[in-house]
Amino acid sequence: MKGRIISPGVAEGEAIVSHEPIGFYGGVDVKTGKVIDCGHELEGQTITDKILIFPCGKGSTVGSYVIYGLKKNGVAPLAIVNEETETIVATGVILAGIPCVDKIDLQKLDIRSGQRIKVDADNGIVTRLD
């Protein structure tokens, strides 16, 4: 599927899928990459070295620093796929150099956590491998 290039790069790996928005500030631990947002469907899971798929960002604008920090700490996701990447996530992935594509219809993409996916953010292309 073809989307919009937010931040370039290519990555391939295991998907971790959230149907809810993700707020990185207060939602993801910057040291471990673990989701700490209480009651969130991914609470307790780790996004590190996975392809993180979620509809859109939410919450605090400090999220950009958290995404940058995840990368600096070596616990960032390999790539991010969104339906709509808002500026907080966009700023974070650009600073961190994490490949990111948006304008992807997640229902049509029909992917579950654990399946493999390739993100070619140089061309804005997302491909389900399983």
Tokens (6 digits) for 101: 């594509």
The nearer residue to another protein, 102 or 117, going by C-beta atoms, is: 102
CA pair distance 58, 36, nearest whole angstrom: 14
Report the run of H or E that residue 4 belongs to, with start and end: strand 4-7
The nearer residue to another protein, 1 or 95, going by C-beta atoms, is: 95
- Please report, as residue ranges, which positions from 3 to 22 form the binding site for another protein (by CB under 8 A): 4-6, 21
- Please report, as residue ranges, which positions from 24 to 83 form the binding site for another protein (by CB under 8 A): 25-27, 30, 36-38, 55-65, 68-69, 72-73
Q: Is 60 a catalytic residue?
A: yes
Can residue 105 be called a binding residue for another protein (CB under 8 A)? no
Burial class (CB in 10 A: 0-12, 13-18, 19+), 104: buried
- How many other β-carbons are positioned within 10 Å of the β-carbon of residue 74? 9
The nearer residue to another protein, 10 or 56, going by C-beta atoms, is: 56
Q: Mind telling me the catalytic residues?
A: 60
